[in-house]
Amino acid sequence: MFISSAFAQTAPAPAAGGDMMSSMASMLPLLLMFVVLYFVMIRPQMKKQKEHRAMIDALAKGDEVVTAGGLLGRVSKIGDGFISIELSQGVEVQMQRASVVQVMPKGTMK
């Protein structure tokens, strides 16, 4: 046998009421970490996604935008999921609306 009978007999008996409080106390740090994680990481990310979605929905023809690839251009056509961006005179590319990262002030492109 690996455990002697004398050692097994000295184990404390579980208390009925104290177990509940100790298990709640051990869950408190985990719960506190989740609350901090929510306010530090999850909530700001959700706010940023909401702002980006609002910017994408507000795109209009003639807006000057920067794409995720770093291209600067002017919106020439708007579709449901795609937009056409005019990079220079006669050069037009079609991209997904979500690839627009930033709307620039008017007159940025010259």
User: Do 69 and 39 fall within a single domain?
Assistant: no
Q: Evaluate whether residue 49 is within a structural domain.
A: yes
pTM comes to: 0.67
Measured distance CA(3)–CA(58) in Å, rounded: 72
Mean pLDDT of the chain: 87
Q: Is the pLDDT at 22 greater than 90, yes or no?
A: no
In whole angstroms, how far apart are CA 103 and each of 10, 90, 100? 72, 21, 8
In 3D, which of 35, 108, 42 has the Cα closest to residue 71? Answer: 108
- How much is the average pLDDT of 27-39? 92
Identify which of 81, 101, 109, 82 has the alpha carbon closest to the alpha carbon of residue 93: 82
Residue 88: φ, ψ to 5°: -150, 180
35 and 68 together in one domain: no
**69 plus 51 within the same structural domain:** no
| pLDDT value at residue 86 | 95
Whether residue 82 contacts residue 93, with contact meaning beta carbons closer than 8 Å, is answered with: no
pLDDT at 12: 61
Residues 21 and 41 in one domain: yes
Q: Tell whether 66 and 99 lie within a shared domain.
A: yes
Are 67 and 48 found together in one domain?
no
